[in-house]
Amino acid sequence: MRIVILGPPGSGKGTQAAMLVEELGVPHISTGALLRNAAKRGTALGLQAKAITDKGELVPDDIMSDMIEERLSRVDVANGFLLDGYPRTVTQAKSLDAMLARLGKPVQEALHIDVDPELIIKRIAKRAKEEGRSDDTVETVRNRMRVYAEQTAPVADYYENQGLLTRVLGDGNKEEILQRILSVLKVNATID
């Protein structure tokens, strides 16, 4: 299956993606992890991206699209993938569609995890404390949520207009949320 997982910062996309790839047997492609690894290795792209993400801003479309295209050209995505953190803009979604059309492997499902904003703030504060992430300060989180509302939320509309979007309630424990997602995927697989 070729899946895009969407949701605001702190909605649990990464947690659910990690659990889903175990269930589905496809690679988890997290742009956040790709960028953090590049920054940790000290690559030029990684350092440039870290400076941008530390301010709560989005990495430019051309950089992200090039990085995703390189990753999607690897052999391990032959049976599908789960994209987490990309696309973050409608421009990126259109670029992804064009890229996947060239590969003959269009997105089959876009999942949006819906979570109450107050719960998101609690989750991010907990994650910042547990993981010591520099991109999870209160100021940065507020900016990321503003950027999400302005630039990324329209991606859900983009996929909804294509009939690919399913919204899943992201409240509850991670196993409950996973079961909701798996139920949606099972139902949608029987429709296709």
Q: Is 172 left (phi over 0), alpha (psi -120 to 50) or beta?
A: left
pLDDT at 163: 95
To the query of whether residue 40 is one of the catalytic residues in this protein, the response is no
Confirm if 61 and 92 have CB atoms less than 8 A apart. yes
Tell me what pLDDT residue 135 has.
67
User: Rounded to a whole number, what is the largest CA-CA distance in the chain?
Assistant: 46
Instruction: Reply yes or no on whether 88 is catalytic.
Output: yes
- Selecting among 2, 36, 50, 88, the annotated active-site residue is 88
pLDDT digits (tens, 9 = 90+) for 5-21: 999 888 888 899 999 99
- CATH 3.40.50.300 correct for 2-182: yes
Query: What is the mean predicted confidence (pLDDT) over 160-166?
Result: 96
Token pair, residue 184, equals 């949606």
Is residue 173 a contact partner of residue 118, using CB atoms and an 8 Å limit? no
Instruction: Answer yes or no: are the C-beta atoms of 84 and 29 closer than 8 Å.
Output: yes
Q: How confident is the model at residue 189 (pLDDT cuts 50, 70, 90)?
A: low
Residue range 102-130, pLDDT digits in tens: 988 899 999 999 998 778 877 777 877 88
Out of 71, 94, 105, 127, which one is annotated catalytic? Answer: 127
List 94, 105, 133, 167, catalytic entry: 133
CA–CA distance, 38 with 187 (Å, rounded to integer): 37
Catalytic residue among 13, 36, 123, 180: 13
Is 102 annotated in the active site? no
- Neighbouring residues of 55: CB distance < 8 A, sequence distance ≥ 6: 140, 143
pLDDT score recorded for residue 128: 77
Query: Would residue 74 show up in a list of annotated catalytic residues for this protein?
Result: no
Q: What is the pLDDT of residues 171-181, one digit of tens each?
A: 989 999 999 99
For the chain, what are the domain ranges? 2-182
Q: Mean of the pLDDT values across residues 41-62?
A: 82
CA–CA dist 47, 114 (Å, integer): 31
Sheet-wide strand order for 2-6: 28-30, 81-84, 2-6, 109-114, 165-169
Which candidate in 36, 123, 144, 180 is catalytic?
A: 144
Q: Residue 29: pLDDT band by 50, 70, 90 thresholds?
A: very high
Mark whether 142 is an active-site residue: no
